[in-house]
Structure formats: C-alpha cells, structure tokens
Amino acid sequence: MTTKLKPVDVVIIGVGWAGSILAKELAQTGLKVVGLERGGYRRQEDFTLPGIHDQLKYDRRLELFENLSRSTITFRNNTREVARPMRRHGPFPWGEGLGGAGFHWAGWTWRHTPWDFEIRSRTLARYGEKAIPEGCTIQDWPMTYDELEPYYDKFEYTCGISGKAGNLKGTIQPGGNPFEGPRAREYPNPPLKRSYGESLFEKATQGSGYHPFPMPAAQMSQPYTNPDGVTLGACGYCGYCMNTGCEYSAKAVPQTTVLPVAMKTGNFEVRTHAAVVRINTSGNRATGVTYIDSLGRELEQPADLVLLTAFTWSNVHLLLVSGIGKPYNPATGTGVVGKNFSWHNALPYIPLFYEKDHVFNPFMGAGALGTVIADFQGDNFDHTDLGFIGGNILVAIAMGHGPLTFQPTPPGTPGWGSEWKKALAHYYTRTVQVLGLHDHLSYRGNYLDLDPNYRDAYGNPLLRLTYDFGPNEHQMSKYLVSVGEKIAKAMNPSHYAVYGLPEHFDAGAGYFVIHQVGGAITGSTPTQSVVNKYMQSWDVPNLFVVGASAFPQISSFNPTGTVGALAYYAADAIKNQYLKHPGPLVPS
C-alpha cells in the first residue's frame, strides 16, 4: 500500500552536484524543496583522520559507490549478444549518498570549448559530410559556449577552482590554455603547486612546441571563502581525494559549497535512503514521485515541479520505467530516450619509468594535480586526411598513489614473484603517469534501454547498455599513440609504454577514466532530444532532467564543470521564466 505525503513545491531526485545546486537556488526563492537521495547521509566532518586514509575501504571496496546487489545495469557490445548484469563496478562505477559522485570526485573541473558545443556544424563546415563516420549521431548542443559562460563562471567561483586562465575576453594569457573559450575573469584561486613529474612533462611538451598549463582543480590552493560565504581550507596534498572525502575541507563538494546554504534557508529537506522507483504523471504533467524508504515502505511525494538530477544511468532509467518520452530504437533511428550514450576513456595511457637520478613522491598529490596540453583536443589541429575527428587532452598526473592502486613495473617484468617485487620496490618512486582523455563520438548502435530479462530489487527492469568503440575512436587511437610516443621519448625515461584502445570495449576491464553521458540528451527539437536547452522535458513541462545524461556526446573534458553550469542555467530559467509562466520554455 502506498502512503501519500503532503505536497511540496519541488521534489528533487538525486542530491549530487546538480540536485544540490538546484536545491539551493530554488530554496532561496522561498519554495519548499524536498531532496530524495538513494544513498545515506554524508557529512564532511565524517572524513577526517585516521579513517579517511583507508584504501581498502574506499579504493578497493568502493564504500561510497552504488550497491550493485540492489541495482545495476546489464551490458553487451552489440544487439547480437545477450546482455548480462554487472556485479562489480569495473569501468562503470557510480556514486550514491548525499553529494553523489560529487562527494568523492577527483576535482578535474573543465569547461567544454566552443567547438564541443558545435561539433557537427563546425566539422561539416571545415571538412564536409565525408568526415563524419557512417552511423555517427553527433549533434550540436542547442546552446552555445557564450550562453553557458556566465554559469561556468558561477560554478567555478562557488567551488573556488584553482587554475590559470588562458583566454580572458579574447586575449590569450601566458601560462593558461590558449585553446579554451573566452572567459570573463581569472580563476578564483591560483594553480596548485606543480610536482616534479609534471615539470618533466612541461619541459618536454614546451620543447616540442606545445602549450602546457595547470589543470583546473577543485582543491583549494589557498583558503577560500566563496560568494555564498562558505569557507574551504587549503589542500594538504595528502593524495586522498578520489573515491573519498577530504580531511582538510579543501575539496569543493556539495557539502562544502552549496548544501550548507540550502539547509540554512529552512526550505530544504533531505531524505536519505529514499529510492525513487517512478515519476508519476497525469496527462502531460508530473504529479510527483513514488519512492521506497529505508523501512521498505512505498511513499508517494506529490510536487508541483519534479527535478530529475541523478547519475546518467538513473536519469535515463527513471524516464524509461516511468514511460516518459519515446524510447530510442536503433533499428529505425526513431525515439530519443536512451539515444547517444557516450563514454570517457584514457587514450593513450603512458607510464614512464626512471632510474636513480629521478625520484618522485607518489604518496603526495591531489586529485586534480596535473599539467595538461590541449594542442590535440577537438579541432585544435588539422584533421584533413587523418580519417577521424576530435582528439584528446594529455595530462601528466600527480594524484597521489597508494600501494593498493599503484604497482608500476616496466614492460617485460614478470607478473608475480621476487623479480616483480624487486621491480615494484625500485620503480614505485621512479614512475610518472601521463594519460589522455579523448573525445568520443555518439553512434546509432550505442544506446540505453530496458533489459527484458533482469529486474532490480524494486521490481523494475534493469537498464541495459549496448556499447562498443567506433571506427573514429580506433583511427584516433593510432594517431594519438604516435603523439604520446613522441612526448614520452622527449621526457627521456629509461623505459616507457604507450597503450591505445583495445579492439572492443570490455566491461570487465579496469579502465582509468569513468564518465558516462547521454541517454536524455538536450537538443533543439523533440524529435532529436529528450530535453530542451533549459533541461526541460519536451513531453512533461514541469519535469527538468539535469545532469551528464543531457550531453549529446562526450568531449575530452571531464563533465562535472559542464554539469554544474547546466544546473545553474536550468535554475535561472526556472526562477526567471518557468515560475512566472509555467509551461514549455521552448516551442516544440
């Protein structure tokens, strides 16, 4: 039996970065907002010494990630295969709990470039139709970089991002990324301190004519108070950032930025261990949601406005099980829900091994400590006759590496025994890691739908992923491996290896980078997208779907900065347009 609760103005599904930003923005207007979070309640103060320094708990057992015995996805490479459930996270871990994946992220805080937002039209204009591979379904975003720039800026100043601008109002700045879109002002904090390994990468890439710059980081290079009056501490370079919280309160997460402000309004309530199983509708309106609480009770939360702000998988899954929008059909190319799934991978991955004249400290670092070149990202280089479009950023990382996740040995080293131990002891402090993050196109055959054979703990069909690498990515891999080889040699190690893409995507493999986007994409028309430019559902106007699920394809840049910008962009549209005149914000 379902218990119907008292109606509220707004119900938010998933309280990560997007949900927390929208909660704060709307609660400040006086609206009564309820946030439903599937995982538990997390406080910043729970992540202090000595408990935080626990690699087994956070890096190996993934304490802060989704419980796959309760809900997971099924996977197959193509429609000829039978999908099977994923019972360990592998390349697709996703967070749960208050703060979502935003609580335990590494802090890489990027903006997309103008080219990323206009990938199809700019590719056609420069290279023609032949440059776009057969079966490729990339599309332009419905908004431009310039439209989102103020919201990128707001997210960066809320978070206190440490970095160096490369393009201030169209003027290229020394030391920053010369290929970025123009920004209105400098980063709120200076860059983090550069590591020794990064300095070798910087010297090699500068000597090759490239343009190295510091990674934009959500770790504070100095104490910082954001525009909402919330103060963060300075990074201690302890190396415990990714997969866990921050003992210094020096990493921008929802708990150290927007959630305290939302809570102070008195208009925002968080309910944890609340698993939403359905968005309820009547005609073309959402009436609220149904969720299961920690006692197993089924509760209905009515609301005037429903905001779906969960992880990519969850956003698409809830739309499908709720019957909102037309499911995508790869055979006909019709439908939109589940379309254009795309994934972020490390390409290439380059470990470099040195001898006694170079000693590094793998224990120290920060989640987003790195030096980057973007010379081969997007369309920053001529692709004529290369056989692919897009590219990558290349990063020398100094994230901090504990022994459970970092066992570097040169190619040819035995995989076990005394020789392996000897090599590991020698190279543990003599290894630098360089990796690329590459653009990945969307394809007709890469999509999400409901699995006909498996169900989750609540009785809903599992989400099914059909995915493999495309021809563009394989051709890109060959080219970027050759670029990586050139840079590796210039860094002058005693040994190195350069790894590109395997022939097929392997859901059981341990890939380095794990970002999933698409499935509830944004676009200019309801025939090509699930949501309009303001993240508003074309089918249900009082439903907004905000998150990486809106990306039509993934770029080289990590998605969180763009997710934050989209959340502020959607909040602005809701406050200044929708609340005044409820209904569609874009004509269909």
Contact 166, 178 (CB under 8 A): yes
The pTM for the full model equals 0.97
Residue 411 scores a pLDDT above 90: yes
Taken as a whole, the chain contains a residue count of 588
Indicate the number of domains in the chain.
1
The answer to the question of residue 337 being in a domain is yes
What is the per-residue pLDDT for 66? Answer: 86
Whether residue 383 lies in the annotated active site: no
Residue 26 scores a pLDDT above 80: yes
pLDDT tens digit sequence for 113-165: 999 999 999 999 999 999 999 999 999 999 999 999 999 999 999 999 999 99
What is the per-residue pLDDT for 512? Answer: 64
The answer to the question of residue 588 being in a domain is no
Tell me which amino acid residue 286 is: A
The answer to the question of residue 585 being in a domain is no
- Structural tokens at position 455: 């169900």
Contacts 24+ apart (CB under 8 A), 466-469: 466/76, 466/77, 466/78, 466/79, 466/83, 466/330, 467/75, 467/77, 467/341, 467/343, 467/505, 468/77, 468/78, 468/504, 468/505, 469/501, 469/502, 469/503, 469/504, 469/505
Between CA 548 and CA 221 the distance in angstroms is 27
What is the per-residue pLDDT for 160? Answer: 99
Helices (H), 160-195: none
Between CA 132 and CA 584 the distance in angstroms is 33
Helices (H), 162-305: 196-207, 259-264
The answer to the question of residue 583 being in a domain is no
The answer to the question of residue 394 being in a domain is yes
Q: Which residue among the candidates 53, 495, 515, 581 is catalytic per the annotation?
A: 515
Per DSSP, the three-state class of 115 is helix
pLDDT tens digit sequence for 509-565: 766 667 899 999 999 999 999 999 999 999 999 999 999 999 999 999 999 999 999
Which of 447, 403, 411 lies closest to 429, judged by CA? 403
- Count the neighbouring beta carbons within 10 Å of the beta carbon of residue 169: 9
What is the per-residue pLDDT for 511? Answer: 65
Between CA 239 and CA 246 the distance in angstroms is 10
pLDDT band at 93 (very low <50, low <70, confident <90, very high): confident
Residue 95 scores a pLDDT above 70: yes
Q: Which of 8-22, 290-304, 398-412, 455-469 has the lowest mean pLDDT?
A: 398-412
What is the per-residue pLDDT for 150? Answer: 99
Helix (H) / strand (E) containing 393:
strand 392-397
CATH, residue 174: 3.50.50.60
Bigger pLDDT: 88 or 23? Answer: 23
pLDDT band at 248 (very low <50, low <70, confident <90, very high): very high
Between CA 138 and CA 440 the distance in angstroms is 10
The answer to the question of residue 586 being in a domain is no
pLDDT tens digit sequence for 193-229: 999 999 999 999 999 999 999 999 999 999 999 999 9
Between CA 577 and CA 22 the distance in angstroms is 15
What is the per-residue pLDDT for 1? Answer: 85
What is the per-residue pLDDT for 379? Answer: 98
Domain that holds residue 193: 2-578
- Counting residues of the chain whose pLDDT is more than 70, the rounded percentage is 99
The answer to the question of residue 587 being in a domain is no
Instruction: Please give the mean pLDDT across all residues of the chain.
Output: 96
Bigger pLDDT: 548 or 88? Answer: 548
